[in-house]
Structure formats: C-alpha cells, structure tokens
Amino acid sequence: MHDFHYRGRELFCESVPIREITKKTGTPVFIYSTKTLVDHIKKIQRAFRSVQPIICYSMKANSNLAVLKTLVREGAGLDIVSGGELYRAKKTGCDPKKIVYAGVGKTNREIEEAIRYGILFFNVESVPELKAIERVAIRLRKKANVSLRVNPGVDPQTHDHIATGKAESKFGLEIGTAKKIFLNRNEFPALRFCGIHVHIGSQILSGKPFVEAFWKVLSLIDELEKEGLEIQFLNLGGGLGVIYSDENPQTADEFAKNILPLFKGRRFKLVFEPGRFIAANAGILAAQVLHVKETKLKNFAIIDAAMNDLIRPTLYDAYHEVWPLVKSETASKKNYDIVGPICESGDFLAKDRHLQELREGDHLALMTSGAYGFVMSSNYNSRPRAAEVLVKGKSFFVVRKREIYSSLVNGESTPKFLAKRK
C-alpha cells in the first residue's frame, strides 16, 4: 500500500525518520516515497502485461519534476492538461509519443507547442476544439493526431466534483456526436483521427461503472469498424480508487481481470491515465502543532498547515488519516478538530479525530496526501507554499524549496504614480 510505517514509536518513510526530515526542512512539508511510486506503477504494468498498454501518468495528481522523472524512468508516459504541464513533460525527457493531451480548453499557443513537440495525440472534447486544432495544424503545415473523448453518461459513484462521465458533465462528446464526427472526418483534412478516449471520474471504488462505460465505447467502435474506420488507440483514462480511510477499492489485478476480457481479439492499443492510484499513498503532509485550544464543545489542534496547503478536506470534504510522528505509550486520548491558521471557517484538515493528547510543538502527518496536495496549493493569506521532499531508501532530497516571503511578490510591480508622495 505505502512505505510509511512505525519503527517502535517513530514514523518512518522507507528508512528515514520523518522527524529527521522536518528538522531540516521545517513544516509544513510534503514527503514522497520513491518506493511507493515505483511499486504502484509496476502494479499496473504487471496487471496488464499481456496487452502491453501505454501507461500515461496523469501529472495533474502530482507534477513535481522528481516524481515525474521517477515514473518516466520506469517506462511511464504522461497525461497532460496544460501548456505548463507540457513544459514539465519536456523537462523530464519523456518520449513525446508517450504524451497525451487532455482538457476542455486548449489555447492556440498550447496546441501549437504540442503539435511541434510531436505528442501522441490530443484528447478532444468538443467540435470547436477540433476546429481550433485543425486551424493550427494547417498553419503549421502538419497533421495532428486526435482522439475523441466520449461521454458515456455513466454515474461513477464518486464525489460530484470528480465525476466526469455523467451526461451533464462538461467533459467529452455524446456518443452520437462522436460517431458523426468520425464519419465526417474528411471535413478535417489536417487531423488524423486515431483513437477514442473515455474517462468517467476519479476515486472510483467499483469495477461496475468502468465495465458499463467501456461496453458503450466498444459498441461505438463496432459501429465505426462496420463503416471501414480503424481505431488505433482506446484510451481508458484513469480513476482507480485508493484507501483514504476504510474504502475497499479494487486492486490493479482485479481491475485487469474485470476489463481485459472486454478487449480480447481487438486490434487497438490500450492507453491508461492513472494518477491518484500511483501518487496518493506515496505522500504525506507533515505539520507542527502551534496551539491546542480547548472549548466546552470542541478541542482544536491548530497546526502550521492549512487549506492553502491541502485543500481537499475543504473542497471535497475529503478524509485524511492523521498520524503522530512519535507515538506516545502513556498519553490519554482526546477528540480533536485539526485546523489551520487561515481566516476561514472552512480551514480544516480533519474533524473529530480520536488522537493521543496533543501539545504545542508536536508533529503530525496527514496521510495519503501525495495526489492533489501540493499541486492544488495556493498562496492564500500570503502564505508561502510548502517544501517537497523525495525519499529513497535511507536518503532524502529536497525537491522543492519552501517559498520565502519575497517569492510572494515575484512578478508584481507598483505603478509610478503610487510611488509619489501626496
């Protein structure tokens, strides 16, 4: 599952005590395990080894360059959703033929950069987007590879904010619209229609929604093949769930067992876009207790991490387990709300947790923070963003320095008229 564990009373990442890291970096700090990242991508590679898919890690989950390079070295491609993510992909040395480009709103500049770099294909979500890619490709005198993202109208039974396969979602094309585009593909001479993409959401625990969605897509492929079209790639997206609390998600092996029979005898190449499955349990957010506030109704542990560092609890009401960096054998237990110092009622990291009695200066770990943690952080309340650390065996490396106050005003300027004294 992950490589965070106790040795005696002390919490370790692989073979490094977390306290050793926090002493060097301070808190809050995101800490990632190389071994967990590698183990998780290998689980998918092994589960689907019979079909040799292209596995494009979804970098929106965690886009630190050290994390990306770790996965690219293991054979991963990358799923990107912006020009900035393409920039990062280039920095990793990822083979452009293992890069797929999703997102509902790509700018002309982003499209041009991706075509010039020679990515595998764009995941296209609308007719206007197709037209935009066509215009850029014509101007560049190049052919652009596109895969149409279909919306199968399937409820993935996850949080509404991360459900993308429902009929009312902004993502993808209705199946009938997609079929019409394929049949009229000659209207886009600068585009090469090479695949179909389907992604129904994130943190999906059951195999049933996947199977339902994939059957609908296969029916579309059957109809297209009868018309003489050949689908080169079927991109199945991501969405595999992980354990945050008491969930019981399917394993990679179970997922493969559920879906591989659907594709037996098919000629297309499968593409996967896992993100959370690889990164979530590979990371924690370590923080320090600033104050303990006790009231008649609640006990609050006010820590130096906040919603600007980890917004998932505020945004999704998400659950992250809270572990002490050092377990006490004698401390009594109390219920706490773990909250940050930001001036918002929504600034909480965990609610009503039964933990060992906390004191000022204690350190805590917010578990399963490797995905949608730092990448969603901000400078709200003018708070510098946290440091990031990668652990490998007995060693650890600061892979992003903590921001300092001067970082907060980089790029800002004051008009001359404001410099004049009244």
Catalytic residue numbers read 343
Distances (CA, A) of 209 to 54, 63, 79, 137, 269: 22, 28, 22, 36, 21
Q: How far apart are the C-alpha atoms of 69 and 83, rounded to whole Å?
A: 18
The whole-angstrom separation of Cα 282 and Cα 66 is 13
| DSSP state letter for 141 | T
Q: How many Cβ atoms from other residues are within 10 Å of residue 249's Cβ? A: 17
| CB-CB neighbours of 208 under 10 Å | 14
For residue 227, the tally of other CB atoms under 10 A from its CB is: 9
Spatial neighbors of 135 by CB under 8 A, at least 6 apart, are 108
Residue 352 CB: number of other CB atoms within 10 A?
10
What are the backbone angles phi and psi of residue 52, rounded to the nearest 5°? 50, 60
